[in-house]
Amino acid sequence: MSSDPYAILGVSKSADEAEIKRAYRKKAKALHPDLHPGDKAKAEAFKKASSAFDILGNEEKRRKFDRGEIDGDGQPRGFGGGGFGAGGFGGGFGHDRRSHHAGGPAGDPFEDILSGLFGGGGRGRRGPGPRKGRDVRYRIDISFADSITGGQRRIKMADGQAIDVNIPAGVDTGQTLRLKSQGQVSPYGGPPGDALVEVTVSGHKNWTRDGDDVRMTVPISLKIAVLGGTVEVDTPSGPLSLKVPEGSNTGAVLRLRGKGVQRPGKAGHLYARLEIMLEDADNKKLRKYFKQMS
């Protein structure tokens, strides 16, 4: 093995941890034995790069090397020895990643490399595993009422099949619903991808959303405003009777508890702003009455 791990990785002695990690990742991606089966030269170069990173990626070992206490194989100066030193390969390609967690750069670049090359990796992994299928994206438009109360929509998948998508209460425009295993089938024998459904909520002429609450304006007659009474209102949860107290003015706001976004265990409220509307603006008796009052 070369006695200069800096030269093997192609970095300067002043390189920081991030530079060293990037250099090792680049080397490993180019030389990894799983990508070049049977190529002994690349396998040997990969061993050297891994041995170099085992030293430079560990702060304590790097300081010892810089002080001349250990050689490029991680062995104490003045002693012989085979293998790759503590924390190295020892034999085959079974990389020991413990040293990088103990004192090297944050994360495990070897783990990252396997993940990038093979679509996910885990400890003890030695070769490419079954890669997940591709995710598939869809877009759906839902009504304002469905965004408040929840609902269900049927969409046609890429393979021609139709599935029912459950719309959770509280979903808003721009949010994405993930349907597990409803994406493309993996050509490598892995699990299917997911379906990612982006939601657009349609606006409504009477209702607006304020967090988990719903706001609306309710027109009432002058008679009900003065004497009080009940009016039927259309809400996202369906028609409801709203009790208007006597002497109500335009701008008064009544609250219907639990009639907003229907989150389980914590529903929002509906706020109804009253607005007095004359049923007959040409009512001569009403005009005469107010003239007398004035």
Domains and their CATH numbers in the chain: 5-118 (1.10.287.110), 136-201 (2.60.260.20), 207-276 (2.60.260.20)
Alpha-carbon span 28 to 50, nearest angstrom: 8
Q: Which of 26-35, 77-86, 94-103 has the highest mean pLDDT?
A: 26-35
Band of pLDDT at residue 78, cut at 50, 70 and 90: low
**CA distances (Å), 274 to each of 207, 210, 227, 235, 268, in order?**
14, 18, 14, 15, 20
Helix (H, G, I), strand (E, B) or coil at 199: strand
- Distance separating alpha carbons of residues 44 and 157, to the nearest angstrom: 48
Q: What is the pLDDT of residues 124-170, one digit of tens each?
A: 444 445 788 899 999 999 999 999 999 999 988 877 889 899 999 99
The predicted model gives 10-31 an average pLDDT of 89
φ, ψ for residue 30, nearest 5 deg: -80, -25
The pLDDT score that the predictor gives to residue 107 is: 44
Query: Within the chain, where are the H helices?
Result: 5-9, 17-31, 40-56, 59-66, 98-102, 109-118, 144-149, 222-227, 284-293
- 84 or 275: which carries more pLDDT confidence? 275
Q: What is the pLDDT of residue 71?
A: 84
What's the pLDDT at 262? 96
Predicted local distance difference test score (pLDDT) of residue 105: 40
pLDDT of residue 294: 65
Residue 229: phi and psi, rounded to 5, are 160, -165
Number of Cα atoms under 13 Å in the Cβ half of residue 3 = 9
Return the CA Rg of the chain.
35
pTM of the entire structure?
Answer: 0.53
